[in-house]
């Protein structure tokens, strides 16, 4: 069996390449960074991608190359936004369009690195999350258009992991300036994000998830990897896309009224409030742990968890 992997010099790409080789696969890894056994291919270069994929004749193609950059929308300049989009989206599209003929013939697997950011958004993740939302849409369309040919699709949605992603993203991101309009809000934003994004695993966990999925006959699979990814995506799915955004704003202190406050949870008859189910769901997915810093919050969480579940 043969596998083609972009972004193979480090992180998830290196981990999946190593895992596949140890299982007896032939792996062609490509990257713009130098590494032993990795070919130089820039995924933004359509002709280079085509030549490499056609020569590999792979059974599994893993579109993994990409990078992160974080900051408020108005802090990104055109050059950074263009590079982010060309690498994370057009690069994935190049891999998709030149791999499909071979995958149709082999009834193969197309896999892509998305992110928890492909399903939900934090403040200052907008441009990066936009690329991952786009990748998820491409993956869905690719499956729907090619399921009749036996092509299977895997969308990896990792949370925070111990890789070089963070340092690279810090280097590529706009500087955080004290004069930024959002500067006073950042302490709460950072605190709420750190509460729910936990780097609890190494890149090998993502590699294991992908390798296990290859034996599954199901055509389309989303694969959240990490407790943080499971909780964040679980909360968004439970609340629904619109309510989840309002609930996130409540968590950040905006006060949209989507969720009850601890005081409201503790009042008599709180279970009859239309917002009870949303608040209970957010608590069950670990999204209200900051309440535990005060006695009212602790009591409110206990009351929510002791009540029978209700639908949002």
- Write out the DSSP string of 64-76: -------S-GGG-
Q: Indicate whether 57 pLDDT > 90.
A: yes
Confidence of residue 31 (pLDDT cuts 50, 70, 90): very high
Q: Which residues pair with 3 in a beta bridge?
A: 27, 60
The mean pLDDT value of the chain amounts to: 95
Q: Indicate whether 310 pLDDT > 90.
A: no
**Residues 58-97, buried b or exposed e (16+ Cβ, 10 A)?**
bbbbbbbbbbbbbbbeebbeeebeeebebbbbbbbbbbbe
Percentage above 90 pLDDT, the chain:
92
State the burial class of residue 267 (Cβ atoms within 10 Å of its Cβ: 0-12, 13-18, 19+): exposed
- Tell me how crowded residue 281 is: count the other CB atoms within 10 A of its CB: 26
Amino acid 14: pLDDT: 95
Q: Where do the structural domains in the chain lie, given as residue ranges?
A: 2-227, 240-306
- Tell me how crowded residue 144 is: count the other CB atoms within 10 A of its CB: 12
Least confident segment among 7-16, 100-109, 195-204, 282-291: 195-204
**What CATH code is assigned to 2-227?**
3.40.50.720
Amino acid 161: pLDDT: 82
What pTM was computed for the model? Answer: 0.93
pLDDT digits (tens, 9 = 90+) for 121-180: 999 999 999 999 999 999 999 999 999 999 999 999 999 888 888 888 999 999 999 999
Q: Which residues pair with 30 in a beta bridge?
A: 6, 39
Confidence of residue 309 (pLDDT cuts 50, 70, 90): low
């Amino acid at each position: 069996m043969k596998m083609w992997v972009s972004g193979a010099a480090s992180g998830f790409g290196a981990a999946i390449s190593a895992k596949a080789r140890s299982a007896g696969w032939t792996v062609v890894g490509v990257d713009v960074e130098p590494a032993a056994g990795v070919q130089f291919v820039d995924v933004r270069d359509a002709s280079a991608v085509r030549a490499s994929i056609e020569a590999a004749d792979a059974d599994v193609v893993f579109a993994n190359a990409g990078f992160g950059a974080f900051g408020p929308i108005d802090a990104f300049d055109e050059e950074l936004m263009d590079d982010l989009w060309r690498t994370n989206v057009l690069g994935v599209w190049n891999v998709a369009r030149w791999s499909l003929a071979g995958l149709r013939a082999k009834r193969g697997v197309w896999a892509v690195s998305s992110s928890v950011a492909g399903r939900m958004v934090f403040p200052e993740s907008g441009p990066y999350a936009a690329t991952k939302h786009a990748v998820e849409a491409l993956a869905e369309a690719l499956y729907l258009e090619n399921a009749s040919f036996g092509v299977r699709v895997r969308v990896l949605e990792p949370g925070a992991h111990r890789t070089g992603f963070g340092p690279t993203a810090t280097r590529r991101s706009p500087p955080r300036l004290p004069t930024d309009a959002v500067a006073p809000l950042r302490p709460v934003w950072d605190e709420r994000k750190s509460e729910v994004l936990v780097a609890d695993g190494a890149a090998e966990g993502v590699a294991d998830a992908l390798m296990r999925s290859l034996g599954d006959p199901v055509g389309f699979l989303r694969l959240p990897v990490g407790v943080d990814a499971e909780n964040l995506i679980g909360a968004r799915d439970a609340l629904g896309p619109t309510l989840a955004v309002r609930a996130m704003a409540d968590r950040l202190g905006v006060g949209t009224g989507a969720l009850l406050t601890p005081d409201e949870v503790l009042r008599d008859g709180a279970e009859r409030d239309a917002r009870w189910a949303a608040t209970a769901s957010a608590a069950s997915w670990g999204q209200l742990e900051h309440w535990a810093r005060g006695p009212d919050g602790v009591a409110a969480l206990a009351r929510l968890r002791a009540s029978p579940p209700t639908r949002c």
